Amino acid sequence: MKAELSFAPLAQIENELLAVVAVDTQTEKGPDARPQPVLLTEDETVKAAAAHVLASGEYKAGTNETVLIHAPAGLKAKRLLIVGLGKQAKATLHTLRNAAGTAVRYTKPRGIRELVFALPAPDSLFAAAGARAASEGAFVGDFDPDTYKSDRKDQSVQSFTVAAPAGAGEAAVRAAFAEGMIVGESQNFTRSLVNEPGNVLTPTEFGRRAFAMAEATGLKCDVYSTDKLHELKMGAFWSVAQGSAEPPALIVVRYKPEGVTEGPVLGLVGKGITFDTGGISIKPSDNMEKMKYDMAGGAAMLGAMRAIALLKPRVRVIAIVCATENMPDGKAQKPGDVQTAMSGKTIEIINTDAEGRLVLADGLSYAKQLGATHLIDAATLTGAIGVALGMVNAGVFSNNDEALGQFQAGLETSGEKFWRMPLGEEYADLIKSDIGDIKNTGGRYGGASTAAEFLRVFAEDTPWIHLDIAGTAWIEDARPYIAKGPSGIAVRSILEWVRSYGSQGSSSSSAS
């Protein structure tokens, strides 16, 4: 999709479709209260063209509610689309992002290939940041998962233009717009990986695509396999990989900004199970086809690294993705086996379907060995997180309030929903083993917290954040602003967390 920025008057923009946003300004409550939709634009011609629709009472400016006006009077655009942001008091950059995605998804099936999306005015809340949100939302909205349909029709929006109000601070708006393109495309890069079937995106292919992304963006990437796992004594990672005919891939991507030799080193660790049968503890057949997305955490780390490489924060970052299949081969590990992790900790295997925490255990240890001072991991780790939070919030756990505070502060920009979940000795007691150090599952209750406590053993005292995205990595039903399928969750939030450390990197004339 070609994306552009314009500061021209809205009425003078010649295009197939002009989209503007509206809010409901009604503040009263009660049976007699009626929505009062108002366009967020200063262009009087646009207001006049939409006046009869807004006055009719049929359009309420509800969140992502749309109405189309053909041949709008006085405008050079062929169509005028109004997209609602909901109640004025609740309008945010996140609702604006979704409105841009809604506008794109509205046009796609209608054969409309050109779209202009007008930023709200006058409103300082949506100044430059609005340009970023709109371009992010547009790219996310343009993605569809129908990659392998033989009769696939190209319904992409070919030209998307953000129209910014005059006097909005052109330099800042241009920078924010370009940033939004990078973030949106990086989220879609993650979604494209998650969308691939397991017979295409094997661990080896996962490594190839990581390497190609790194090469294209100037990152350093190494992809290792079985010999490296044995060399590093990654017994937990190998215990999962040993049951598959496909070799594992240990993907290491490094970002080092020029001149930064001091300060934190951030370790990004992702679960990359390219297909999860459950192993010997095999899953039920219903919905098993979706287990191709069990590598969404690893894909999120690669998407974040793509954005990091292009936006260049002043902090060193190492990403590690532990990629393998979990299969019930004759060589697969069995319940009751005891495995030795890279850290030396011994793990009693209770359930071979609790495999993600095993690969992450060695990934976290390796990140620390490579110099990471702060850790964040992402994984479709437990069904329990979906039971606890539904398909709305992802879970976040941490052993460090300061690191978590920086992550949570970034959610205002990312717009993603994470809810802090508990850790504690009571959960840790549930994974104590009689034969080894720990068990790989703590039973039915509190499953998301016991899984996080398992990972905490390997993070040790290093500031650490764990993102359990199992309930939100796959969208079961299409929404007005995003297609059914992979969500790409965590890319934006991980990026903002990394950027929060950017000012802490020290510059030096010499490189280490």
Local structure of 378: helix, strand or coil? strand
Residue 370 tokens read as 């490579």
Pairing label, strands 220-224, 249-255: antiparallel
φ, ψ for residue 268, nearest 5 deg: -105, 120
Type of residue numbered 112? I
Annotated catalytic residue: which of 87, 283, 420, 479?
283
Q: Find out whether 75 and 46 touch, Cβ atoms under 8 Å.
A: yes
Q: Which of 153, 505, 458, 461 is nearest to 315 (CA)?
A: 505
Sequence-distant (≥ 6) Cβ neighbours of residue 269 within 8 angstroms: 301, 319, 320, 321, 322, 360, 363, 364, 367, 375, 376, 377, 378
Q: Which of 300, 474, 467 is nearest to 391 (CA)?
A: 474
* Alpha helices, H only, 370-507: 383-389, 401-414, 425-429, 447-459, 491-500
Q: Which of 442, 484, 233 is nearest to 348 (CA)?
A: 442
| Residues written for the chain | 512
Q: Which of 56, 307, 19 is nearest to 187 (CA)?
A: 307
Sign of CA dihedral 419, 189, 212, 244: positive
Annotated catalytic residue: which of 357, 368, 439, 499?
357
Active site residue 283: yes
Active site residue 417: no
Type of residue numbered 252? V
Cis status of the peptide bond prior to 145, with omega within 30 of 0: no
The residues annotated with a catalytic role in the active site are 283, 357
